[in-house]
Amino acid sequence: MLILALDVLERDVALDVARKCGEYVDFIKVNYPLVLSAGIDVVSELSEIRPVIADFKIADIPYTASLIADIAFRHGVRAVIAHGFAGSDMLRAVRDVADRHGGEVYAVTELSSQGGREFMTRHTLEIVDVAKEVGCDGLIAPATRPERIAEIKKRAENLRVICPGVGAQGGRLEDVLKAGADGIIVGRTIYQSEDPARTAREIRERIDGLMK
């Protein structure tokens, strides 16, 4: 599975990259930079090109979390991403909203950055257990630390594990897939390349070759 992290700031650029790369990616992940600069309606427009995952990394009290998830689903997204560290009550609230819309929920385990090791790593497997208990569809795990992906996948074999951090953050596609990832999230390597469509196609072909 290849997920395009579309962290560009302009609506027209976002739609252009999405149209060019659409046939090579399974999902488009939208994060705050795009929505805060282009407005939430861009999410609906992108959803017409490819299924969108709303990466609002929801981490709040259950009530507020539900409002955020509901806004995302009402704009046509297929899935939302929430922080596992916020706890089971919030994940359950987001799960309920997703169920009302027939959508999916992914939980972040530990961030791919160095900072992800400061606090999150200690609780990663507990977060995995809670995500399983609540019925999340998948987990976000760090491509920068393949050994952690392996541990996370082992603990949650039935959940989809998708991994950001390939390319710009130093993670290697081969290592990530070998560790058991079900998919990768790639941003800058694609949208900052000279030819985003060609780069997306090449990554897709490498994934397909490795996952055979």
For residue 193, report the phi and psi dihedrals to the nearest 5 degrees: -80, 165
Contact between 164 and ligand O7M per CB under 6 A: yes
Q: Which stretch binds ligand O7M (CB under 6 A): 70-78, 90-98, 121-129, 180-188?
A: 180-188
Q: Nearest CA to 55 among 82, 22, 75?
A: 82
- Looking only at the bridges linking them, the beta strands covering 79-83 and 104-108 are parallel
Q: Is 64 annotated as a binding residue?
A: yes
Assess whether 57 carries a catalytic annotation. Answer: yes
Enclosing H/E stretch for 26: none
Residue whose pair of structure tokens reads 């072909």 in the numeric block: 205
The phi-psi region of residue 151 (left if phi > 0; otherwise alpha if psi is between -120 and 50; otherwise beta) is alpha
Q: Is 166 annotated as a binding residue?
A: yes
Contact between 136 and ligand O7M per CB under 6 A: no
Nearer to ligand O7M, 71 or 168 (CB): 168
**Pattern of binders to ligand O7M over 26-65, x per CB under 6 A?**
-----x-----------------------x-x--------
Please state the closest distance from residue 109 (CB atom) to ligand O7M, in A.
Answer: 8
Q: Which residue is nearest to ligand O7M (CB)?
A: 187
- Summary count for the chain: helices (H), strands (E): 10, 8
Nearer to ligand O7M, 172 or 212 (CB): 172
d(CA 130, CA 117): 19
Contact between 165 and ligand O7M per CB under 6 A: yes
Q: Is 58 annotated as a binding residue?
A: yes
Which residues sit opposite 28 in a β-bridge? 4, 52
Residue whose pair of structure tokens reads 């916020």 in the numeric block: 86
Q: Is 170 annotated as a binding residue?
A: yes
Helix (H/G/I), strand (E/B), else coil: 74: helix
Note the residues at the interface with ligand O7M (CB under 6 A).
Answer: 5, 7, 31, 55, 57, 81, 108, 111-112, 116, 140, 142, 164-165, 167-169, 185-189
Annotated binding site for substrate: 7, 29, 55-64, 112, 164-174, 187-188
